[in-house]
Amino acid sequence: MPTFGQWIHPVLIVLSIIAIFFALFNFGSLKKLLVGHPMRSRELQSSHTKLYWLIALPVLAADLYSSVAYGPEAGITELAPLGIDAKWFILPITGATVILLGMLITSYIMGVIAYPNGGGAYAIAKDNFKRPMMSLIAASALLVDYILTVAVSVSSGIQTMGSAYPALVPHETLLSILCVLIILFVNLRGVSESASIFAWPTFFFMACMILLIATGFGDEVRHGFVQPTTPPFGTVPQALTTMLLLKAFSSACSAVTGIETISNSVPIFREPQKRGAIKAYVVLGLITGVTLLGFSYHLYVQGISVNPNNTMLSQLTSLYFGHSIVYQIIMWSTFLVLILAANSTFTGFPQLAALVAADSFLPRALTFRGDRLGYSNGMIVLAALSTLLIEVFNAQTNALIPLYAIGVFVAFTVAQVGLTKRWLRVKGKNWTVKAAINSFGAVVTALVAVIFAVTKFTGGAWIVLIVLPLLILTAVTIRKHYNQIANELRIDLRTMRPGSHRVISIVLISGINRVVLNAISFAQSIDTDAIALYIGFSDESIERMEKKWEEWGTPCRLVTLKSEYRSVLYPLARFLQRLETWEGGKPDHIHVMIAQFIPKKWWHYALHNQTSLLIRAWLLRNKDVAITTLPYHLQD
Amino acid sequence: MPTFGQWIHPVLIVLSIIAIFFALFNFGSLKKLLVGHPMRSRELQSSHTKLYWLIALPVLAADLYSSVAYGPEAGITELAPLGIDAKWFILPITGATVILLGMLITSYIMGVIAYPNGGGAYAIAKDNFKRPMMSLIAASALLVDYILTVAVSVSSGIQTMGSAYPALVPHETLLSILCVLIILFVNLRGVSESASIFAWPTFFFMACMILLIATGFGDEVRHGFVQPTTPPFGTVPQALTTMLLLKAFSSACSAVTGIETISNSVPIFREPQKRGAIKAYVVLGLITGVTLLGFSYHLYVQGISVNPNNTMLSQLTSLYFGHSIVYQIIMWSTFLVLILAANSTFTGFPQLAALVAADSFLPRALTFRGDRLGYSNGMIVLAALSTLLIEVFNAQTNALIPLYAIGVFVAFTVAQVGLTKRWLRVKGKNWTVKAAINSFGAVVTALVAVIFAVTKFTGGAWIVLIVLPLLILTAVTIRKHYNQIANELRIDLRTMRPGSHRVISIVLISGINRVVLNAISFAQSIDTDAIALYIGFSDESIERMEKKWEEWGTPCRLVTLKSEYRSVLYPLARFLQRLETWEGGKPDHIHVMIAQFIPKKWWHYALHNQTSLLIRAWLLRNKDVAITTLPYHLQD
């Protein structure tokens, strides 16, 4: 017998597809239950409250700070094949990561100064480059990264839970997908990203990490800074290559992703906004740096090894606290903050997608606000794509990280180059220093991006290097299409006005019954010359129809056609072709009317001939005819 | 990085769903390529050629005879936990299976005598029981079994290939699903089940099995009938229970499934038909019996053990022939005959479903013949459900067999009881003997069905015992629905005739452009009082529209509505409600016209607002209004 997991998996995939269609096409009570009552457009303005910087800091920090849960681990994983002698390298690698973090924060503070209304790499690039190419590079890198953030954060959160409760391990993929769906529905209901309630889980997680690091030092003070489990320091394993070190560094750098959040959200700070945002950046950078260094140091001292079913954070915590309640609390807090990181992406991705779509580079549907004023379509796309990634990668975070870091650093680079250009153009106070900081930042982030692309190329980076250009190409094609359509539809109001047209009306009938009675009455009311068209599959059925029609008093002209191939499409198409030359030249419009059953219960649709749907779809696609559907609501 | 299999799996599921929709909604050139040109209805009569019994025998035997490849193995698998001492029990168990086979063949020969035009359990039950319950039991059992036959035969065929080429083992599920899809497309193209070309693979497989058994005896003559590997005979392991023995017996009985094929297809025999069918039954029974006994005997002598990645047939063959070309040929021949068994089901299932649907017990769409004159919808349903089973059970035949055998024996029992009733009613030559044979058969098959249900209950039989009643309930509900609809639609031709109705016409517009120009021209041509309706999301957009409308010379009356919730549905619904009491009382029809873009390329649909689709779907479902779609074919 298949296990629960085997049953549930394909079923879940099918259910998600149905759910997405449902979310797109819904107008029922179930949607109201899940998503809530619709909100008025003007409610949009009233929802923003400004936050004090110390509260805004954790609200915006989940994405960056939660990365400490997987960054150092990702670095150590790369070095694992070299054995115990290579373990100490995590210390210089983390050091380099923290230096990079400091540099990025300095650069982003420049961003805050330049764009106090919230910048983001796309807006910065749009503002500073004439051609759209750079902003498209930034946008596609960021969009891909948002998708990866959801996949990585959620998988990592579930892996944390799996470490605490090993019974969950076989179901990690399933649980991750469920998490994404729950986050999706919460966001479809609408959550204000800036609600101060989101501050507390991140604060709490920061406290947990500080506690963990402090306990570690306490332990080392008592038992010595070199313990029996501590790997040797300074040894250089034979198999170590520069390539491997760079690989480990680029994996560890996944810890600095999410740094852009504050600069995107300056407007949510209380006045003085700029100063608040800068303070938040500095403090966040300090806390994150200390956490990364302290955490990595203890991992080294305790000689923690890679275990796919037990995260390093979990191993270290259980070393200090056993499987006590403290351990449980730290694990839950880690899970919560990782879910929050994924959740914040459900605001970032749809907003960016809407910005790009407003510039005609993505389908316009991404700019529509849903019932709860969020960009629902963007959220659904994000959930669908990240679910696909989780499914394909079986919720294994490490496999996703190489894909992740490249995009972030590509976007960083574009933003820094844009800022540098801005300083050179705008000048202003201390512009040379600012330009120097950003141009140096641009060089470093570009270098890091290249290192990632090269070292992780075979590990999956090639996917990103294919996806990004494809996305950009698609964006350019979409804009071209929209422009052409706009030209095609434009008319001159003074010269082109509606006129009276000749219309030929046809009612398709399949017999004589209450539905047909209704259809013919309608057709005759709008056109007294309407023609009834019957398509039979045999000579007998046609004769029977003609006889019945006479019995009925020939309410209008009846045309019968025989279909030798049991399809009504071919004879109908031939008939329409004939009409175009039939009586008095080509008519301006051909008007086809079709009756359709509307059953009371949805599953009754499966019991009724859906030929009318088929005919309608075919005619719409292939013929230039007006098609009227005459619904007949069944009583049962 | 995920493996090829991980990538391909979800992708394949999505592709199959698309393929099914495609097959249902198709009218394109790809369909012609895959399915072939449509055929005329009258070509149906000319396709039957009658076969000599010796050719008809293998054509109809694939389903039954191919079961020897998995039947004995299924029996031994149940005994495996008892160890080597229980292995000899396969001999009495196979003996009992062969006796059951002989009895069933005798019973089915009675069926041939009674229904020379092809019976089948459903037809026999329909003919002999007044109430539809018995025939519905037979039909649902058989339909479920056809689905399981496809799943079991295809998985077993792929397992055979996996035994020969171990590299395939990790991809068995994927390959099985691909096989089902290929069989589906071959059948959508249309294959005549009675083509004599299907005789040769089965003949060849029979020859292979005889060769294998003969080689076995040769080996035993040379090396002794008791070999070092031969398990002890006559020992009774402590853990052996009657339950376990019955379980092994019921698994081994999967070898007799498919026995009904000949009795369903008497008309394809050359005259004298009855005599030919009876000869075929006797010879087939003899060959199958000999094969089962010989195969099981050698399995015992060689002490073959269960190995999920190497079928017993493969193990025995490689013992005699090594991994030589003879081994390869036998494996390929086994694969081919198992695929043929699945293929024959693609005729049986849709035919039975069409029969049941013609009696209004299943959706009528199952009675429509596709372009190539087969019942395409039935084929698609069969492929979809068997694919689902293969996916859920990961192509493990043994897990499916308990589900399989119950349904077969339930259907056997219904058929035998029906035949007994017939002999009691019709009498005729030797009717007492015939009635005795069938009533004895009924008792035995009923007993076997009960044994299966009890012994395999926890192993999955409960699923069948839930599915069968559900299917029957559904069938009864469907018939009731069809009857009620027929009553609702019936009209009196003499008194109820079409009349002239009052129609209010509304054109929905979203601005002024070429599409709107066309829509208003059409609307004014069929109703000079048509109203243009504009729904805006803000006061400014409404003012702008009204101004532009005046500039355009007010071609018709314009009504503007404001939507506070960014949805056009709510204001539209309110407007329609108002119309019903607006001017001069409720109109007979409200006629809503909507323009719709038809892009040239399918992916352009994603770029255009699908609001018109949404509005149409909502109106059809909730309002009694005629809805006209005015297509506008984009040039780009």
Cβ neighbours of B551 in A, within 8 Å: 493-494
Which pLDDT belongs to residue A45?
A: 55
Task: Please check whether residue B360 lies inside any domain of the structure.
Answer: yes
Of A33-42, A134-143, A596-605, B407-416, the poorest mean pLDDT is in A33-42
Of A353-357, A468-472, B22-26, B202-206, the poorest mean pLDDT is in B22-26
Is the domain of B185 the same as that of B278? yes
CA–CA separation, A506 and A519 (whole Å): 10
Q: Where are the alpha helices (DSSP H) in A359-461?
A: 376-392, 397-426, 431-455
B149: Cβ contacts below 8 Å, ≥ 6 apart: B63, B257, B258, B341, B342, B345, B404
Is the domain of A418 the same as that of A513? no
Kindly tell me if the per-residue pLDDT of B37 is higher than 90.
no
CA geometry: angle A142, A147, A152, nearest 5 deg = 115
Range of the domain at A336: 52-479
Number of structural domains in chain B: 3
Which pLDDT belongs to residue A473?
A: 93
Cβ neighbours of B388 in A, within 8 Å: 10
* Predicted confidence (pLDDT) per residue in B111-164, tens digit: 888 888 776 788 888 888 888 888 899 899 889 888 988 998 999 999 999 998
Q: Which of the 8 DSSP states describes residue A504? A: E
The number of C-alpha atoms within 13 Å of B324 and in the hemisphere containing its C-beta is 6
Which pLDDT belongs to residue A213?
A: 93
Q: State the CATH number of the domain containing residue B153.
A: 1.20.1740.10
Which pLDDT belongs to residue A158?
A: 93
Task: Please check whether residue B419 lies inside any domain of the structure.
Answer: yes
Mean pLDDT of A172-185: 88
Give me chain B's average pLDDT, please. Answer: 84
Contact across the interface for B598 and A621, Cβ inside 8 Å: yes
Which pLDDT belongs to residue B29?
A: 52
The residue count of chain A comes to: 636
Is the domain of B3 the same as that of B94? no
Of B365, B490, B499, the CB nearest to A513: B490
CA geometry: angle B54, B58, B64, nearest 5 deg = 135
Sign of CA dihedral A619, A621, A624, A627: positive
Cβ neighbours of A502 in B, within 8 Å: 525
Asked if A408 and B27 count as a contact pair (C-beta separation under 8 A), the reply is no
Question: A602 or A424: which carries more pLDDT confidence?
Answer: A424
Is the domain of B516 the same as that of B452? no
Is the domain of A348 the same as that of A273? yes
Q: State the CATH number of the domain containing residue B566.
A: 3.40.50
Q: How big is chain B by its Cα radius of gyration, in Å? A: 32
Which pLDDT belongs to residue A492?
A: 83
* Predicted confidence (pLDDT) per residue in B468-480, tens digit: 899 999 999 999 9
Task: Please check whether residue A30 lies inside any domain of the structure.
Answer: no
Task: Please check whether residue B603 lies inside any domain of the structure.
Answer: yes
Chain A closest CA to B614's CA: distance in Å?
A: 7
Which pLDDT belongs to residue A96?
A: 93
* Predicted confidence (pLDDT) per residue in A369-382, tens digit: 776 667 888 888 99
Q: What percent of chain A has pLDDT over 70?
A: 89
Kindly tell me if the per-residue pLDDT of A300 is higher than 60.
yes
CA–CA separation, A176 and A159 (whole Å): 9
| CA–CA distances in Å: residue B589 to residues B196, B506, B520, B580, B586 | 60, 11, 19, 9, 9
Asked if B279 and B125 count as a contact pair (C-beta separation under 8 A), the reply is no
Contact across the interface for A525 and B502, Cβ inside 8 Å: yes
Of B13, B491, B627, the CB nearest to A629: B627
Q: Where are the alpha helices (DSSP H) in B224-311?
A: 242-252, 261-264, 273-301
Kindly tell me if the per-residue pLDDT of B608 is higher than 80.
no
- What ipTM was estimated for this complex? 0.74
Contact across the interface for B626 and A628, Cβ inside 8 Å: yes
Mean pLDDT of A285-313: 91
Task: Please check whether residue B45 lies inside any domain of the structure.
Answer: no
Kindly tell me if the per-residue pLDDT of B320 is higher than 80.
yes
Task: Please check whether residue A334 lies inside any domain of the structure.
Answer: yes
Is the domain of B410 the same as that of B323? yes
For residue B235, which phi and psi values (nearest 5 degrees)?
A: -70, 150
Asked if B145 and B257 count as a contact pair (C-beta separation under 8 A), the reply is yes
* Predicted confidence (pLDDT) per residue in A89-109, tens digit: 999 999 999 999 999 999 888
Q: What percent of chain B has pLDDT over 90?
A: 24
- B213 token code pair: 């058994």
User: In the structure, what pLDDT confidence band is assigned to residue B296 with cuts at 50, 70 and 90?
Assistant: very high
Is the domain of A252 the same as that of A302? yes
Of B488, B617, B626, the CB nearest to A25: B617
Which pLDDT belongs to residue B12?
A: 57
For A508, the 3-state DSSP assignment is strand
CA–CA separation, A346 and A440 (whole Å): 32
CA–CA separation, A235 and B309 (whole Å): 46
Quick one: residue B303, left, alpha or beta (phi over 0 = left, psi -120 to 50 = alpha)?
A: left
User: In the structure, what pLDDT confidence band is assigned to residue B250 with cuts at 50, 70 and 90?
Assistant: confident
CA–CA separation, B400 and B159 (whole Å): 14
| CA–CA distances in Å: residue A4 to residues A11, A232, A507, B392 | 11, 46, 53, 10
Q: Which amino acid is at A6?
A: Q
Is the domain of B426 the same as that of B510? no
* Predicted confidence (pLDDT) per residue in B55-102, tens digit: 888 888 888 899 888 889 988 888 888 888 888 999 999 999 999 999
Domain stops at, among B446, B481, B516: B481
Kindly tell me if the per-residue pLDDT of B403 is higher than 50.
yes
User: In the structure, what pLDDT confidence band is assigned to residue B190 with cuts at 50, 70 and 90?
Assistant: low
Of A178-182, A259-263, B61-65, the poorest mean pLDDT is in A259-263
* Predicted confidence (pLDDT) per residue in A550-563, tens digit: 988 888 899 999 88
Is the domain of A140 the same as that of A262? yes
Chain A closest CA to B439's CA: distance in Å?
A: 35
CB atoms within 10 A of CB B185: 15
Of A27-31, A144-148, A275-279, the poorest mean pLDDT is in A27-31
Which pLDDT belongs to residue B17?
A: 58
First-residue to last-residue Cα distance in chain B = 40
Cβ neighbours of B37 in A, within 8 Å: none
Cβ neighbours of A629 in B, within 8 Å: 616, 620, 626-629
Q: Where are the alpha helices (DSSP H) in A490-558?
A: 514-526, 539-551
Domain stops at, among A479, A512, A543: A479
Q: Which of the 8 DSSP states describes residue A131? A: S
Which pLDDT belongs to residue A25?
A: 46
* Predicted confidence (pLDDT) per residue in B299-314, tens digit: 998 988 888 889 999 9
Q: Which amino acid is at A159?
A: Q
Cβ neighbours of A567 in B, within 8 Å: 38, 371
B569: Cβ contacts below 8 Å, ≥ 6 apart: A27, B614, B615, B618
Question: B301 or B44: which carries more pLDDT confidence?
Answer: B301
Chain A closest CA to B101's CA: distance in Å?
A: 28
Sort B443 into a burial class: Cβ within 10 Å, 0-12 / 13-18 / 19+: middle
Q: What percent of chain A has pLDDT over 90?
A: 24
Domain stops at, among A432, A447, A479: A479
Contact across the interface for A493 and B627, Cβ inside 8 Å: no
Of A6, A484, A604, the CB nearest to B392: A6
Q: What single string gives the DSSP state of each residue in A144-206?
A: HHHHHHHHHHHHHHHHHHHHH-GGGGGGHHHHHHHHHHHHHHHHHH---TT-GGGHHHHHHHH
Contact across the interface for B491 and A616, Cβ inside 8 Å: no
Q: Which of the 8 DSSP states describes residue B231? A: P
User: In the structure, what pLDDT confidence band is assigned to residue A281 with cuts at 50, 70 and 90?
Assistant: very high
Chain B closest CA to A492's CA: distance in Å?
A: 9
Chain A residue closest in CA terms to B38: A565
**CA A619 to chain centroid:** 35
Kindly tell me if the per-residue pLDDT of B230 is higher than 90.
no
Is the domain of B8 the same as that of B83? no
* Predicted confidence (pLDDT) per residue in B269-291, tens digit: 888 888 999 999 999 999 999 99
Task: Please check whether residue A593 lies inside any domain of the structure.
Answer: yes
Contact across the interface for B564 and A501, Cβ inside 8 Å: no
Kindly tell me if the per-residue pLDDT of B500 is higher than 70.
yes
Contact across the interface for B598 and A620, Cβ inside 8 Å: yes
CA–CA separation, A355 and A373 (whole Å): 15
Which of B630, B634, B635 should one mutate to test binding to chain A, selecting the residue with the greatest count of A CBs within 10 A? B630
Kindly tell me if the per-residue pLDDT of A6 is higher than 60.
no
Chain A closest CA to B304's CA: distance in Å?
A: 24
Question: B48 or B463: which carries more pLDDT confidence?
Answer: B463
Kindly tell me if the per-residue pLDDT of B585 is higher than 50.
yes
Kindly tell me if the per-residue pLDDT of B583 is higher than 70.
no
Which pLDDT belongs to residue A37?
A: 65
* Predicted confidence (pLDDT) per residue in A24-82, tens digit: 444 455 555 555 666 666 665 555 567 788 888 888 888 889 988 888 998 888 888 88
User: In the structure, what pLDDT confidence band is assigned to residue B24 with cuts at 50, 70 and 90?
Assistant: very low
Contact across the interface for B566 and A41, Cβ inside 8 Å: yes
Give me chain A's average pLDDT, please. Answer: 84
Which of A21, A25, A27 should one mutate to test binding to chain B, selecting the residue with the greatest count of B CBs within 10 A? A27
Is the domain of A383 the same as that of A267? yes
Which pLDDT belongs to residue B288?
A: 95
Q: Where are the alpha helices (DSSP H) in B456-568?
A: 462-489, 514-526, 539-551
Which of B565, B567, B590, B612 should one mutate to test binding to chain A, selecting the residue with the greatest count of A CBs within 10 A? B565
Chain A residue closest in CA terms to B364: A607
Mean pLDDT of A178-189: 84
| CA–CA distances in Å: residue A181 to residues A19, A315, A380, A385 | 10, 29, 9, 12
Task: Please check whether residue B48 lies inside any domain of the structure.
Answer: no
Is the domain of A430 the same as that of A510? no
Kindly tell me if the per-residue pLDDT of B26 is higher than 80.
no
